[in-house]
Amino acid sequence: MSFNTIYLTLMSVRMAPRLPLIFLLMIHVVSADWGVSYSPSHICALKNSSVIMSCTYTYPTGYKIEKVVWTKNIVKGKESPDLSKDPEYSQRLQYLGDKKQNCTIRLSHVTQKDQHMYCFRFTTDKSDGKWTGYPGVTLTVTDLQVEVPERVTEGHNVRLTCKSSCTLTDRATFIWYRNSQPLTERRDRNNQLLLQSVRREDAGRYSCALHGHTYISPAAQLNVTYPPRNVSVSITGSGVIVEGDSVTLICSSDSNPPALNFSWFKENQSSAVGSGQSFSALQSGRFYCEAHNQHGSQRSDAVTVTAHPGADRNVIVIAATSGGLFIFIIIIILFIKRKMSVKTDLTITKVNHPDTT
């Protein structure tokens, strides 16, 4: 403050010929003893935290402080209301200062609704001795959001970021949670969590918080994609083909995204014998499947299918095809015959009808 005064005085000496300017500066020099300073003048606070607004004020000697008031959203020419009388603030506002020079306050459980400019005003025992420290301290309240890449493939590195809408005034340590459990390995730096060579166990819902604060961010899902694993074939029934029936084989796998593309192979046969998640085995042999997704593929162990002698479906199918026409004709004949007998029944009823009435 005193440095300011000296500086302004020097300015006025240098600019001596410019009288109106000197006059302006002189006002400042005279009033330099009246002031409020806020440090810092911009605060970025986490939701639900307590904010200390550090503040000091000065006034010329010979004045006695009568009233100290914090206000918000100052409007020129209007006396802004005392926040300690405002029901939205009275419970949360604590004046830590004094009636001499310290005007610090604490505002607890801040919410987004508290984002305003706050000013300190003091009144002295003399009618000209009033001062409002404008501009005041600007409060911004932020929440935290976890930023996660949409998906990451196993083995790659991934960086999760705990984002706030403004740079937090308090230098804070970040804490990370996966599925609500705090992560103990310290793999984080500033507001980032680095997962190196991601494993599928790293998938989960991540949230972040600040050490010493109650607020926890909403959780964000980390999706780890990976090629098929644990590919296996299950068999319906015993795996024995009886009476020209088939045996159904089903391929299952653990993969993300789920494998939708399956190939079936017969052992010692290079080309695929089928596709799709299930396969009907009509012959004896050892069969295995291969599950694919965009990250890779894996094959299962082989399962054994045995056909009983004489249960070769192919033979039956061929027989059915050649005999098909003959069977069709027989069915048609039977159908026509049945239709005709129904018609005959109807005729009989009609004939009988007049007799009964």
State the residues that interact with ligand NAG by CB under 6 A: 48, 56, 96-97, 102, 104, 109, 151, 214-215, 221, 223, 225, 229-230, 254, 256-257, 261, 267-268, 286, 292
**Taking the complex as a whole, how short is the minimal distance between the CB of residue 33 and ligand NAG, in angstroms?**
17
Q: Give whichever of 97 and 244 is closer to ligand NAG, judged by the CB atom.
A: 97
Q: How far apart are CA 35 and CA 28, in angstroms?
A: 11
Q: Residue with the closest Cβ to ligand NAG? A: 257
Q: Give whichever of 73 and 294 is closer to ligand NAG, judged by the CB atom.
A: 294
* Axis-axis angle for helices 19-31, 2-14 (nearest 10): 170
Query: Shortest CA distance to 176 belongs to which of 190, 166, 165?
Result: 190
**Taking the complex as a whole, how short is the minimal distance between the CB of residue 157 and ligand NAG, in angstroms?**
18
Strand, coil or helix: 19: helix
Query: Shortest CA distance to 119 belongs to which of 129, 109, 105?
Result: 105
**Taking the complex as a whole, how short is the minimal distance between the CB of residue 93 and ligand NAG, in angstroms?**
14
The position carrying tokens 């020129």 is 76
**Taking the complex as a whole, how short is the minimal distance between the CB of residue 297 and ligand NAG, in angstroms?**
6
Q: Give whichever of 153 and 161 is closer to ligand NAG, judged by the CB atom.
A: 153
Altogether, the residues listed in the chain come to a count of 357
Query: Shortest CA distance to 201 belongs to which of 188, 185, 215?
Result: 185
Which helix or strand (DSSP H or E) is residue 185 part of?
Answer: none
Query: Shortest CA distance to 10 belongs to which of 34, 29, 24?
Result: 29
Q: Give whichever of 125 and 267 is closer to ligand NAG, judged by the CB atom.
A: 267
Query: Shortest CA distance to 172 belongs to which of 201, 205, 207, 213?
Result: 213
**Taking the complex as a whole, how short is the minimal distance between the CB of residue 64 and ligand NAG, in angstroms?**
19
**Taking the complex as a whole, how short is the minimal distance between the CB of residue 39 and ligand NAG, in angstroms?**
9
Q: Give whichever of 110 and 119 is closer to ligand NAG, judged by the CB atom.
A: 110
Q: Give whichever of 29 and 288 is closer to ligand NAG, judged by the CB atom.
A: 288
**Taking the complex as a whole, how short is the minimal distance between the CB of residue 142 and ligand NAG, in angstroms?**
14
Q: Give whichever of 8 and 250 is closer to ligand NAG, judged by the CB atom.
A: 250
Largest CA distance in the chain: 141
**CB of 242 within 8 A of CB of 308?**
yes
